[in-house]
Amino acid sequence: MPKETFFNLPSEKRAMIEEVAIDEFAEYGFDKASINRMIDKCGIAKGSFYQYFNNKKDVFLHTMSMIGDKKLAFMSPLLANPEEHDFFTLLREMYISGLRFAHNNPKLVQIGNQVLKNKDHPVYKELLGGNSQKSNDVFEGLLKMGIGRGEIRGDIDTKFISYIISSLNVSTIEYYYEKIKGNTSDMTDWDDDIMDTVNLFIDLVKHGISTIN
Amino acid sequence: MPKETFFNLPSEKRAMIEEVAIDEFAEYGFDKASINRMIDKCGIAKGSFYQYFNNKKDVFLHTMSMIGDKKLAFMSPLLANPEEHDFFTLLREMYISGLRFAHNNPKLVQIGNQVLKNKDHPVYKELLGGNSQKSNDVFEGLLKMGIGRGEIRGDIDTKFISYIISSLNVSTIEYYYEKIKGNTSDMTDWDDDIMDTVNLFIDLVKHGISTIN
Amino acid sequence: MPKETFFNLPSEKRAMIEEVAIDEFAEYGFDKASINRMIDKCGIAKGSFYQYFNNKKDVFLHTMSMIGDKKLAFMSPLLANPEEHDFFTLLREMYISGLRFAHNNPKLVQIGNQVLKNKDHPVYKELLGGNSQKSNDVFEGLLKMGIGRGEIRGDIDTKFISYIISSLNVSTIEYYYEKIKGNTSDMTDWDDDIMDTVNLFIDLVKHGISTIN
Amino acid sequence: MPKETFFNLPSEKRAMIEEVAIDEFAEYGFDKASINRMIDKCGIAKGSFYQYFNNKKDVFLHTMSMIGDKKLAFMSPLLANPEEHDFFTLLREMYISGLRFAHNNPKLVQIGNQVLKNKDHPVYKELLGGNSQKSNDVFEGLLKMGIGRGEIRGDIDTKFISYIISSLNVSTIEYYYEKIKGNTSDMTDWDDDIMDTVNLFIDLVKHGISTIN
DNA sequence: CATGAATGAGCTTTCATTCAT
DNA sequence: GATGAATGAAAGCTCATTCAT
C-alpha cells in the first residue's frame, strides 16, 4: 500500500503519478517497467517516489487496485441486481460490458491481462490470492445462483466452467484487439460483430450447461 | 541455431545443457532467464556457453524447437491420416493428446505457453512468424476440411473459431495443472475427469458449428 | 552530454573525474579506455558514473569538448582580429601557439591527435562532423582570405594546402614531443629551436603559395 | 616470429593465411582485429593457428614485415644507385613511387599508416624500434648524402626534416585516398594531378633546404 | 601437424533502493 | 515533504590463449 504521504499529495499530482504508472505498466509489464522512466515522466525526484511508495511492487499493486475499482464501477450496474435476470442474460451482458470496457480503457485491460497470463510470477501470485481471482469468483457465484434457480444443471464442475468462461472472455477480447489494431474504421460494424459472436457463445454455453435442452 | 560446437559435444553433456536451459526458461521465461545461472547450474565456463550458442535468443529458439519436435512426435500419429476421422473425433483426440503431453512434459508446456501468451515480445514474435502459430493453423486447417466435407457449417469465422479452440485447449491444460499441483494421488480419476470434460467440450463445439443440429 | 547530475557535483569531484577521464583517454584512446579503470581511479561506484554520463561516448565527447574549449581559449586572442595580420604572420603565430599549447597540455593534445588520426572510427566521425574539422577549416578560411587580399596565389588547391598545413602542424608537434620526452632540461633552447623551425616552414610555404616571389 | 610449422606449410596455405591476416589488419587495425574472424575466414582450426604463430602480436609483426619487404622490393630499383641522381630527383621519384605503391596495394598501406599514427601503442612501439622507422632513416640518409655532395645546406636538422618529409608523404597519400574514394573515373587525370602536386612540393623543399637559392 | 572444446577475466550498461541533507 | 547522489549486484557478451587428443 502506498504511504500516507502519497494520499496527502494534491490530487492532481497524485492523479498524474497514477497515470504515468498506468502507462508504464501497460507498455512494459511489471518486470520491465522502470522506476527511473516513471520519475522522469513525472518530473519528480527519485527520493519523492520512495516516499510515496515502498517499492516497485507497491506502485504496481496500487495500480492494479485502481484498475479493479474502475472495472467494478463499470460493471457494478450489471451486478447490482443479479437476481433480476437469468444466468445467460447476465453472462451476455457481462461479455458485452467487458468488451466495451476494454475498448474504452485499452491500457488498463492490457495490464490486467498480463496478470492473468503470468500466474507464476511472484508479484502476480500475490495478486491472485486476494484480488484478481474475482473474475472467476463472480462467474462461479452466478453459476451457483443459476443452479439454485434451476436454470443450470447441478452436475457441472462450477470451478472449471467458470475458469473456462473467464478465459473465453479474455480470448475474445484479445482476438478483437488484434483484429482492430490499425483498423480505425467503422465502429458500428465492430459492435455488430461483437454481438454476433457473443450470442454464438452464449448459445454454446447455454446448450452445454442449461437444464433446458 | 546453435553452433557446430554444440552438436559435437558428448551427448550427455549436450543433454545436460538442454535440460538446464529447459528448467531455466520454464521457471523464468525468456527475459528473466539468466545465462549466468545456466552456466552455474551446468558447471561450464561462460566462454564455453557462447561457443555453443550465439546468444540468449539462440538457446531459447533451440529449446523451443526441441519442444516443437517432441510435441510433433507425440501428436503426429494423430495427424497422420486426418481424413480417416471426422472433425470432432480428431478434435477430441487432440485435446486428449495435448493434455497427456502436458502431463508428461510439464516444463516444456510451460515454456510453450509463455510464448503463446506474450505475442508482443520481439523474440516471441519471431517464433510466431515461422513456427508456433502452428496450433491455430492446424485447427483452422481441420475446420476447413470439415467444412469441405460438409461436417461443419460454412458460415463460421474459421480464424476466430480456431483461435478460440486453441485458447480453450491451453486453458483446459492450465486448469488441470493448477488442480494437480502437489496432488500426486490417483491418476485414474484424473484421466476420467479429463475424458468427461473433453467430451463436454466437444459437444459444445459440435452444437455450435456442426451442420447437424 | 553529461547529465545534470554531473554538473551538480562539487567542483572538486567533477574536476577529479574529468582529470581521470583525460588520463584514461590519453593513455588508451576511446576503444581501449575502460570505464572500470576510471571508476577505480575515481573511487566512485559504477552506478554513480552512469548517473553522470549516459555512456562511454558521452564521457569521451565531454572530454573532447573540454579540450576544444581550452584550445580555443588559448588560441582565441590570435584569431580575434585575423585581418590585422597577413596570412604568413598568422600562420606563424598559430604554429607557435599550437606548440605552446601542446607543451602545456600534453595529454589533451594526445587525445586530440588520436581523433585526427582515426577518421574512420564511428565515434571520431561523429566528432568530425560538428567539431574537429575546425583545424582544416580555419586554415582554409585564412587561405581564402589571403587570396582575397592578394597575398596568396589564386590558383592553389586550398583544400589540399590546408590539409597539408594542418598535417605539418601535427607532425611538428609530434616531433618535438618525442624529442622532449624525458628531457626536462633547458626550455629556452627548446623555444629557440621552435622559432627557427617554424620560421623555416613559413618561408617554405611562403615561397610556394605567396604572390611575391 | 612465426613458428617453424608455419614455414613448413604448403606455400598456398601459407599465402592464404597471410592474405587473410592482411585483410583483417587493414580493416580493423591491431587491437580490433579478431583471431576468431581470421581462422573463420581461413577455415583452419584455432589450435592450428596457434601452432603457426605464438600470439596475435606475432601474426601482426609477420604481416608488417611482409609489407616492408614488398615495399622495399617496389622501391629498391630507386634506391639501388642513389649516387646517380641528385637528392631532389630522388625525392621526387620516391614520392611518385610511394603513391603508386599505395595505389596498387591499398590494404598494405592502410596497415602501415596505422602503425605510423599510433606510435604510443605497445605493439607499434616494438615495431618502430627495429623496423618501420626505415622510412625516416632512408630520407635522413639521403639528406646527409646530399649535404655531403653540397646539394643541401649543412645547417639543417636532418632528423626533423626527414620526419617532415616522411609525414608529408603519408599526408599526400591520404589526401588522394579520400579524394579518390568512390571516384572510379579516369586514372590518367589522377596521375597528372599527382605529378603537379609532387612537383610543387619538391620545389618547396628545394627552396627551403637546397644550397642553390 | 591438426583439432576444437575449455577457459575466465574483461567489457559496457541497467536498475531498484537507500540515505543524508 | 522534497531532493538527488551513491550504491553494487547483475545482466549479456567477447576474446586471446591453452591443452588434451
Cell digits for D185? Answer: 573515373
Checking if the pLDDT of B185 tops 90, the result is no
Residue A31 or residue D169, greater confidence: A31
Residue C199: what residue type?
A: N
Nucleotide nearest C28, CA–C1', reads E11
pLDDT in tens, D118-174: 777 777 777 765 544 566 778 888 889 999 999 998 888 888 888 888 888 777 777
Mean pLDDT of D69-90: 83
Is the CB of A171 less than 8 angstroms away from the CB of B160? Answer: no
- Asked if B117 has any chain A CB less than 8 Å from its own CB, the reply is yes
Q: How many other C-beta atoms can be found within 10 angstroms of the C-beta atom of residue D129?
A: 8
CB of residue B44 closer than 7 A to nucleic acid strand F?
Answer: no
Separation in Å: F8 C1' and C22 CA: 25
Restricting to B residues 50-89, those with a Cβ less than 8 Å away from any Cβ of A are none
Distance in Å, alpha carbon of B88 to nearest chain A alpha carbon: 15
Provide CB contacts within 8 A for C173, sequence distance 6+. C98, C99, C102, C109, C113
List C-alpha distances in Å: D144 to C36, D81, D141, D151, D161: 50, 15, 5, 10, 11
- Asked if A116 has any chain B CB less than 8 Å from its own CB, the reply is no
Is the CB of B200 less than 8 angstroms away from the CB of A208? Answer: yes
pLDDT in tens, D194-205: 677 778 778 777
Checking if the pLDDT of D91 tops 60, the result is yes
Q: Is C186 exposed, middle or buried (0-12, 13-18, 19+ CB in 10 A)?
A: exposed
Mean pLDDT of B18-33: 93
Which nucleotides of strand E lie under 7 Å from a protein CB?
A: 1-20
pLDDT in tens, A43-77: 899 999 999 999 999 999 999 989 888 888 888 88
Which pLDDT band holds residue D184 (cuts at 50, 70, 90)? low
Return the SS3 of B34.
coil
Chain A interface disruption, residue of B23, B116, B163, most A CBs within 10 A: B163
pLDDT in tens, D22-76: 999 988 888 889 898 899 889 899 999 999 999 999 999 999 888 888 888 888 8
Strand partners, A152: A210
Nucleotide nearest A8, CA–C1', reads F1
Q: Residue D54: its pLDDT value, please? A: 92
Chains C, D: CB pairs < 8 Å: 52
Angular region, B73: left φ>0, alpha ψ -120 to 50, beta rest = alpha
Query: Residue B18 half-sphere exposure, CB side, CA atoms within 13 Å?
Result: 18
Residue A176: closest CA among B157, C10, D169: B157
Q: How far apart are CA A94 and CA C190, in angstroms?
A: 92
Residue D102: closest CA among D89, D90, D91, D111: D111
Q: Residue C11: its pLDDT value, please? A: 92
Which pLDDT band holds residue A132 (cuts at 50, 70, 90)? very low
Q: Residue C2: its pLDDT value, please? A: 92
Q: If you search the block for the grid coordinates 586550398, which residue do you land on?
A: C158
Q: Are D111 and D18 in contact (CB under 8 A)?
A: no
- Asked if A196 has any chain B CB less than 8 Å from its own CB, the reply is no
Strand partners, D152: D210
Residue B180 or residue B206, greater confidence: B206
Measured between CB atoms, which of D168, D197, D208 is closest to C203?
A: D208
Restricting to D residues 164-193, those with a Cβ less than 8 Å away from any Cβ of C are 164, 167-168, 170-172, 175
Distance in Å, alpha carbon of D54 to nearest chain C alpha carbon: 23
Measured between CB atoms, which of B32, B168, B207 is closest to A207?
A: B207
- Asked if C205 has any chain D CB less than 8 Å from its own CB, the reply is yes
Residue B170 or residue A189, greater confidence: B170
Q: pLDDT tens string for chain C (213 positions)? A: 899 999 999 999 999 999 999 999 999 989 999 999 999 999 999 999 999 999 999 999 999 999 888 888 888 887 777 778 888 888 888 888 888 888 888 888 888 877 777 777 878 777 766 544 566 778 888 889 999 999 998 888 888 788 888 888 877 777 776 666 555 555 556 667 677 777 877 887 887 778 765
Q: Residue B132: its pLDDT value, please? A: 46
CB of residue B113 closer than 7 A to nucleic acid strand E?
Answer: no
Checking if the pLDDT of D180 tops 80, the result is no
Q: Do chains A and C touch (3 or more CB pairs under 8 A)?
A: no
Q: How far apart are CA B123 and CA A57, in angstroms?
A: 26
| Contact list, C171 vs chain D (CB under 8 Å) | 163-164, 167-168
| Contact list, A204 vs chain B (CB under 8 Å) | 204-205, 207-208
Q: Do chains D and C touch (3 or more CB pairs under 8 A)?
A: yes
Query: Count of H helices and E strands in chain C?
Result: 11, 0
Q: What's the farthest any 2 CA atoms get from each other in chain D?
A: 64
Nucleotide nearest B42, CA–C1', reads E6
Q: If you search the block for the grid coordinates 611575391, which residue do you land on?
A: C212
Q: How far apart are CA A166 and CA A92, in angstroms?
A: 12
Q: Do chains A and B touch (3 or more CB pairs under 8 A)?
A: yes
Mean pLDDT of A29-33: 88
End-to-end alpha carbon distance in chain D: 49
Q: How far apart are CA A195 and CA D138, in angstroms?
A: 92
CB of residue B3 closer than 7 A to nucleic acid strand F?
Answer: no
Query: Which residues from 129-188 of D have any strand F atom under 7 Å from their CB?
Result: none
Is the CB of A175 less than 8 angstroms away from the CB of B168? Answer: no
Kind plus residue range of the DSSP H or E element containing D127 = helix D122-130
Distance in Å, alpha carbon of C210 to nearest chain D alpha carbon: 12
Residue A146 or residue C174, greater confidence: A146
Got the DSSP string for A23-44?
A: HHHHHHHHHH--HHHHHHHHT-
Instruction: Give chain B's radius of gyration (CA, Å).
Output: 19
Is the CB of C164 less than 8 angstroms away from the CB of D175? Answer: yes
Residue A25 or residue C200, greater confidence: A25
